[in-house]
Amino acid sequence: MFAVQLTDDAQLRPLEPWQAEEFLAHIDRSRDVVDPWVPWASRSTDLDSARAMLQRFADRQAADTGRLYGIWLDGTLVGTTMFVGFDAAGGVCELGTAVEPAGQGRGLATLAARLLIDWAFRVRGLHRVEWKCRPENVASSNIARRLGMTLDGTLRQEFDYQGKRHDTEVWSLLADEWPGRGD
């Protein structure tokens, strides 16, 4: 297994089905603060559902349509970053992150997202990276800004969460806007 150092005490590593117990513990610690923004957290409520969630991402990675990585801080899983969607033929992917309180405020989500963006543009040759979040999720939109993304617009009442319709901001970054790619 590989690990990429994000900071002296944090690593980015693949997150796989055999790590379901650790993933569930992370979700349980972060459910209240993450679930309003990343509703798939509410779908991992026990070991079987956590393993199924990780298996879905493993299957998507095998199909080259998505990927999931964990962010470990001092050996504890405190966050995830993922290609929510990955369309190599179309040249577009969607990136997302979720970090529990113990890992917040350290820039880990931004560092991890930056690595995935760089890989998408430089290695896979994608043209566009998207970032989607609710307008009230200021922490998420701040990450998009730090990554140099542009707010394309807001999809009004785009999705239902707990019986209420919510807007979605769509941010993007193009390959020629990424440092070293406009050559």
Instruction: For residue 74, tell me if it sits in a domain.
Output: yes
Instruction: For residue 183, tell me if it sits in a domain.
Output: no
> In the chain, what is the straight-line distance between the N-terminal and C-terminal CA atoms, in Å?
33
Burial class of residue 95 (count of CB atoms within 10 Å of its CB; 0-12, 13-18, 19+):
buried
When divided into structural domains, the chain yields a total of 1
> Residue 32's pLDDT is what?
82
C-alpha neighbours within 13 Å on the C-beta side of residue 40: 16
> Residue 1's pLDDT is what?
61
Instruction: For residue 90, tell me if it sits in a domain.
Output: yes
The pairing of strands 128-133 and 92-99 is parallel
Residue keyed to tokens 């409520």 = 45
Instruction: For residue 25, tell me if it sits in a domain.
Output: yes
Q: Note down the domain range covering 91.
A: 4-177
Three-state secondary structure call for residue 12: strand
Which CATH number is 119's domain given? 3.40.630.30
CA distance 181 to 183: 5
Instruction: For residue 96, tell me if it sits in a domain.
Output: yes
> Residue 182's pLDDT is what?
45
Give DSSP secondary structure letters for 53-116: HHHHHHHHHHTTS-EEEEEEETTEEEEEEEEEEEETTTTEEEEEEEE-GGGTTSSHHHHHHHHH
pLDDT in tens, the chain (183 residues): 689 999 999 999 999 999 999 999 999 998 888 777 776 677 888 999 999 999 999 999 999 999 999 999 999 999 999 999 999 999 999 999 999 999 999 999 999 999 999 999 999 999 999 999 999 999 999 999 999 999 999 999 998 888 899 999 999 999 999 986 544
> Residue 183's pLDDT is what?
42
Instruction: For residue 182, tell me if it sits in a domain.
Output: no
